[in-house]
Chains A and B, each alone.
Chain A
Amino acid sequence: MTTPVKMVKVEVDGVAVEADSRDNLVEAARRAGKAIPYFCYHPRLSIAGQCRMCLVETADQPGRLQAGCQVKVKEGLKILTNTPAVKENQRGVMEFHLINHPVDCAICDQSGECKLQDYYMEYDHQPSRQRTYKLQKPKREELGPMVVYDAERCIMCTRCVRFMDEVAQEPQLAVVNRGDHSLIATFPGQPLDSNYSGNTVDICPVGALLNTDFRFKSRVWFVEKSPTVCNGCSNGCNTYVESRGTQLYRLLPRRNEEVNQVWMCDEGRLTYHETNEKRVEWARKGRGEAREDIGPALALDEARRLLAPLKGKPGLALWISAQCTVEEAQGAFDLGAQLGASKYLLGGKPAGKGDEFLVRADKNPNRRGVEMLAQAWGVKLEAGETEGALNGVSALVAARTDGLGLHLGALERIEAFIAIAQNEDPAAQLAQVVLPVNSLYEAGGTVVNYYGRLQRSWAAIVKPRGDAQPGWAWAGQLAESLGGARAVATVQAAFASAAAKAAPLTGLEFDAISEEGRVLPALLPTEFPKRAPRPESAPAAQPQA
């Protein structure tokens, strides 16, 4: 499909390197391991050439500074990034950018990940020569539900405007006013309510656009980043979750060229709240007034006491949410086989709106994975959202309680309802035994997205939250107490047992799954969502800015 790319030989500071002929000087220098600083350039957006920070010299025009983001390479070009003229320009550009910049580092969220700070220490580190006052502009303007704008900090790089125009394709931002009174603004009466507005916060190089949800929650150097996969919909955007102790603070997109490039939607950014709030913390038994926290061992005993007499009898159903990871689903199916469950129901969050970019209508990350395992176990999965799905069910084991909210009436009548639940939702309130489960962000696991791509999430939080355990651990312990095989102890072993069962996973090892994930050819979808044609972008080898 693609024509072969033409490569040219260039030299960067004396280092010879082969560059793509479509590269600009910044990308060519990146191939050589040299960093040319920039603010307004972004590899995935159109060129603005506004900040003037990337100016470098080329040997064919000595003394003339050329914008590294605009000029394309040609055969035999010699790029010089550390001549005195370049260094003086970098220092001077930093000085200009900082003239009206407010003294906000102490209260600005971007501290610690701010390009102005980094480039200042690297290229400028001079005291201010300014003897006059700084301009005052609007601060903390709410541009939209997720984004707050501080005009004084803005360096007018226009990355946000270009992003909304080109990538999100909802042109909700624009530059207004002239000169040093310029601002970024939305159109009157039309807030920045795009589902992708959070990405403008990511690409803003300074603290002008900030995430309202994360604002003032934590300093960025206190949190640890772990790679994970968003569980908001079946697109499975790759993310980083930032955590400290047992709390999660935010989700950032992680680069995966094939799934989400470097973007994610706003709904996905908010999914970490479910891991933080309204969690079931302690293993308990009893419903309503009789509720009692009894700890994991006793809770398992109680569950066994309730389930053992019902083994193999009709009316014993297993509810598996499409939010479960592959390992959790494998544990659940194994438990179901141990129990001789007669009915298997596929639950999950209700469907929502999808779009042509990153958002899928199916708001569960692992429907394909659960269906794959159901097929491997030879089990028929019934849809959990149909009314009357729980008719005739007298005992229910739920691996995650998503979607059970539709059947609260039926749940009240069930006398043996064991829930492996993450949050305190109405369904979990009705369970006889509740076993608290780790969320996808806390424990590691794999999920299969709508495209059939198996992706891995690394455990972010290692401190246990109350009695919470991974779902496969609960299912395994429950199965073991009912007479099954010894429960697996690690997520690697849990995945291995899934790989032993499901044909698409044969031969795969948990630790060998890379950060990009892998597509399972057997699970490729037969119909694809319609997408608008995307703008031509530079080759996939370009890293995230």
Chain B
Amino acid sequence: MAQALIDLLKEKLPDAIVSSHTHCGDEVVVVKREQLVDVIKLLRDEPAADLKLLAQIACVDLLTFATELTGGGSIASQEAPAYLKASQGPREPRYQVAYNLASVKKKHRLRIRVELRSDDCKVPTITSLYPTADWWERYCWDMMGIEFSGHPNLQRLLMYPEFVGHPLRKDYPIQRRQPLVHEHDFPDLVRGPGPGPGGAGVPMSQTHVGRKNVDPNTYE
């Protein structure tokens, strides 16, 4: 039933479409990145389409799609070994951004997909079309490092600001450690400013009564 949506796109914006297919009942249209905003605007505003609900913006990293080994119960087969990855070049296009759109009135859905190369992972933002895209795009940026050009506030959403890297990328190993974040000092609101325990400038770990002489590096 979403075939009608694909036909609508083919009629109105034929050169935006790269390909389209159906898989397991989902219709997917791969569009060119430059015309993404036009495509989605059309799908949102055209009364026959009425795809006013942006359900999700998902991002996929296809780096190890061909080499990720099977089996999850074993310790060894988590990542393709380094020599295997080195012998195969990076898979391009590496990233896919999928926009899952739905219509609450017409009850049809469509997925729009944009494919990005690893050296050029920028997509125009659609926050002007859907206010909810704000957080979805921030999630994709945080997790996979896909830049959304024109986003009003492209900051990390789930991870803390000092986090290094983009965790859902396939070359981010699960055992990677992050640099320790130092404790932010902020003034003691209870005891107020001043010298001595609990005064401003003393880290919170030292302000608890009774911890005056404790080595801050112990874990007790």
A residues neighboring B (CB under 8 Å)? 221-227, 244, 458, 511, 514-515
Contact = CB atoms under 8 A, between A and B. Distances in A.
A510 to B, nearest CB: 12
Contacts of B76: 221-225, 244
A34 to B, nearest CB: 17
Nearest to A242: B76
Interface in B80-100: 81-83, 86-87
Interface residues of B, number: 11
A515 B83 contact: yes
B83 A221 contact: no
B73 interface: yes
B71 interface: yes
Among B71, B74, B82, B87: residue with most chain A CB under 10 A: B74
B81 A221 contact: no
Contact of A221 (B77, B82, B86, B87): B77
Nearest to A225: B81
Interface of B: 71, 73-77, 81-83, 86-87
Chain B interface mostly helix, strand, loop or mixed?
helix
Nearest to A514: B87
Contacts of B74: 221-222
Contact of B81 (A222, A224, A514): A224
Chain A interface mostly helix, strand, loop or mixed?
mixed
Contact of B83 (A222, A223, A458): A458
A223 B71 CA distance: 13
11 contacts: A221-B71, A221-B75, A221-B76, A222-B75, A222-B76, A223-B76, A225-B76, A226-B83, A227-B83, A458-B82, A458-B83
A129 B156 CA distance: 58
Nearest to A224: B76
Contacts of B82: 458
A458 B77 CA distance: 18
Nearest to B71: A221
Given A226-B83, A227-B83, A511-B86, 17 more contacts: A221-B73, A221-B74, A221-B75, A222-B75, A223-B76, A224-B76, A224-B81, A225-B76, A225-B81, A226-B81, A244-B75, A244-B76, A458-B82, A458-B83, A514-B87, A515-B83, A515-B87
Q: Which 5 A-B pairs have the closest CB atoms?
A: A221-B74, A224-B76, A458-B83, A222-B75, A227-B83
Contacts of A514: 87
A25 to B, nearest CB: 26
Contacts of B86: 511
A10 B112 CA distance: 39
A225 B76 CA distance: 9
Nearest to A511: B86
A222 B83 CA distance: 19
B40 to A, nearest CB: 37
Contacts of A222: 74-76
B43 to A, nearest CB: 37
Contacts of B73: 221
A457 to B, nearest CB: 11
Contacts of B77: 221
